[in-house]
A and B are shown apart, each in its own frame.
Chain A
Amino acid sequence: MATAKARRKHKGPKERNSKLQRWIDLLAALLSRQLPASFEELRHDVPAYTAGDGPTLMRMFERDKDELRAFGVPIESVPYGDPPENGYRLRARDFYLPFLAVTTPERPTARSAVPPAGYRALDQIAFEPDELTAVGDAAARVRALGDPLLTADVESAMRKLAFDLPADAMRPGTDEYVLTNPVDEKCFVVLGAALLDRKVVSFDYHAMSTDQTTRRKVEPYGLVFLGGHWYLVARDQAHEQLRSFRVNRITRIVPNRARPQTPDYEIPAGFHLDEHARSRHAWNLGDEAVITAVVDFRRLTGATRAASKLGHAVRGSSNLRQFDVRRSDAFARWLLSFGGDAMPIEPPTLADRFRTIAREALGRYGASP
């Protein structure tokens, strides 16, 4: 026999349908009113809120209301009546998609057909054709990232926009191809929900530097796509530090299911994902002390030219660049890839290490200077 817990977890189709019907009925009940309404008034329009005892039905209503809000339905709680009691309101102009139109040189003032009764309070938003091209290009970029939740959101948004707007006008402007690595859908679903609800997640993480897999417990701050890979930026509770985890190295992810309506942590006000996510080179990652390196760019080839724009200029020299380096070995190997066209000259320890790596590589081929 299934346990009560298992039954709750695996809701049958009838239970799902009944919930869906309650949501639709509750939405209709709220949208049919211009003024706030109490639960007692709303329950007359929602059949499921009549069968059962009062407190149970009230809890069911509260849960439905919270779930619809989590879905994005802007149900307001407002004081209502005399004496005041809890009232609920869903304003049409806050809920429905405004009327959308395209302006063109021939029709600079966008107009749509006369809206039906009940929808006349809605605004009209007129897009210009170049804005719609930008929206189409933006949607194409998001689809290319491979995050199933983002893709679902962007598809849904585009379907809504296409309710009024011509789909052709929102096609991407150019044929662009993005190479990304496959992602684990389940992992993204868990991370996406955890980010929205600010819930702690636990997972196994394979750290390439140590070749060890360990269990981590983290507070997710954001997801970042750089260089064809997704990274989770999160505070590692054991290390009490912000870390980046490559998502495709995460397995057995589990969210904290305790107190689902309550966030587990706060993201500090000073944290900005965009700033944190600025792409950094391997030699600039980690916690090691920063050293200042000077590099002599001896030949400006196609390969070295882009590299020579990194770092900072050295006054009085056009071919020297100064770099802040945390991992000198990684930096030396990066410079080695330019095959002598970019040589570190300071500090001496770095210059020596660079030559040592070159000698060791020569040894691999049985050659010596």
Chain B
Amino acid sequence: MTADAALQLRRLLHAIPKLSDGQAHSVDEVARVARTDRNTVLRDLFSLTERLNEPGGFIPGLQVYIDSRRRGVRIANARHFRRPMGLTLGELSALQLGLAMLRAERTPNEYAPIDRARTRLRKAVAKLPADEWQAATRHAEFGAAGEQSHLSVIRDCIRKRRKARIKYRTANAEDPQVRVICPYGLIASRGAWYVVAHADDRDAVRIFRLDRMEEAKQLTAVFQAPEPFSIASVVHDGRVFQANDAESLRVRYSPAVARWIEERERVPLAADGSVTVEYPLADAQWAVRHVLRYGADAEVLAPEAVRVAVIERLLGIVAAPLSGATA
């Protein structure tokens, strides 16, 4: 079966039950429900009825009526297609993949509805012989959330528009701080989860990495999300950060690592094979950590303050005693 034919059959098995309820439905409505366009709907319907070179005398097949005045369409004689087909194995597998991802992000006491949903969906599948059940061909995870219970608390706060009290350790701090936040939404990016929230102590929107949260508690106080506010406003060029000023970080990567950077940042290589990238600078400590991971293959060109910070860190490493372990 070609992919086109399968898609057309899938669309028709969705549409026919809707259109065979005795009512006229507008083509636009059918297209909206089927998430396709008017022309595709009409083409699909005509494909059912345009019978050429076939002998007569058979039980009449589906009859499609299109009322041009009311722009309505209905199907008659579809007594075997008044319900949709059950879920296919592919459809069930796709939903099960999503439920498995959901389960991986939740705490054990939140598993019950997910597991019940999985069981019920399996009963909605078109039955295949047992040997046709296949092992999963997809696996997906969005990233580390740290304590899953924190993710659950934050999700619940977002849903109920409740404030949360969190204990949060910033990237460079040894001591966590207690903060009250109004969580607006969650972002999964590059293997980590982030909470976009109004931080009451800063009276500004801030981004918190979930795996740096050490406690999270829902408060009774409610909040109103600002209008208009979009979670996407903190996403810039595929990165999650709050750009407060115009300062930028300029880094040159050596030819040894430049192709990875070129692929990730979609910037062209220089003639010598190196690549220079300019990033909005939201956090100098992030910049230091980012550059250090490339060793001698990355160099901060600007700003000077970040160059100095990188040098200081490296001098500290070289001067540190070989064995500083404390038992």
- A174→B101 CA distance, assembly (Å): 15
Number of A-B contacts (CB under 8 A): 386
B186 at interface, CB cutoff 8 A: yes
Most buried by B among A17, A100, A127, A355: A17
CB distance from B219 to the nearest CB of A (A): 17
**Interface hits, B165-203 → A, CB 8 Å:** 168-174, 184-191
- A134→B116 CA distance, assembly (Å): 10
- A331→B293 CA distance, assembly (Å): 10
**Interface hits, B209-223 → A, CB 8 Å:** 209, 211-212
Contacts of A93 in B (CB 8 A): 127
Residue of B nearest to A123 (CB): B123
Contact A50 B121 (CB under 8 A): no
B79 at interface, CB cutoff 8 A: yes
Contacts of B62 in A (CB 8 A): 24
Given the contacts A73-B126, A95-B85, A163-B17, A345 and B54 also touching, CB distance less than 8 Å: no
A312 at interface, CB cutoff 8 A: no
Per-residue CB contact flags for chain B residues 126-154 toward chain A (1 = under 8 Å, else 0) read: 11110000111111111110100000000
Contact A174 B117 (CB under 8 A): no
Contact B128 A274 (CB under 8 A): no
Contact A160 B296 (CB under 8 A): no
Contact A337 B290 (CB under 8 A): yes
Most buried by B among A11, A227, A359: A227
Contact A20 B8 (CB under 8 A): yes
Contact A159 B158 (CB under 8 A): no
Contacts of A333 in B (CB 8 A): 293-295
Residue of B nearest to A319 (CB): B326
A111 at interface, CB cutoff 8 A: no
Contact B169 A302 (CB under 8 A): yes
User: How many B residues touch the partner, as a band?
Assistant: 35 or more
Contact B123 A98 (CB under 8 A): yes
Given the contacts A98-B123, A155-B35, A296-B324, A140 and B61 also touching, CB distance less than 8 Å: no
B31 at interface, CB cutoff 8 A: no
**Interface hits, A5-58 → B, CB 8 Å:** 11, 13-14, 16-21, 23-25, 27-28, 31-32, 45, 47-48, 50-51
A residues sitting closer than 8 Å to B (CB atoms) are 11, 13-14, 16-21, 23-25, 27-28, 31-32, 45, 47-48, 50-51, 67-68, 70-74, 76, 91, 93-98, 100, 116, 118-119, 122-123, 125, 127-128, 130-135, 137-142, 144-145, 147, 149-150, 152-157, 159-161, 163, 173-179, 181, 189, 193, 195-196, 208, 211, 221-228, 248-249, 267, 271-274, 277, 279, 296, 298-303, 305-306, 316-317, 319-320, 333-334, 336-340, 343, 345, 351, 354-355, 357-365, 367, 369
B residues sitting closer than 8 Å to A (CB atoms) are 1-10, 12, 14, 17-18, 33-35, 46-48, 50-55, 58-59, 61-62, 79-102, 113-114, 116-117, 120-121, 123-124, 126-129, 134-144, 146, 155, 158-159, 168-174, 184-191, 209, 211-212, 231-232, 235, 238, 240, 259-260, 263, 288-290, 292-296, 299, 307, 310-311, 313-320, 322-327
Q: Pull 25 A–B residue pairs with CB atoms less than 8 Å apart, ordered by A.
A: A13-B47, A17-B46, A23-B9, A51-B55, A71-B88, A95-B86, A119-B82, A127-B120, A134-B114, A135-B121, A138-B96, A141-B102, A147-B138, A155-B35, A177-B186, A177-B231, A195-B137, A271-B135, A302-B171, A302-B209, A305-B212, A306-B212, A340-B317, A343-B324, A369-B319
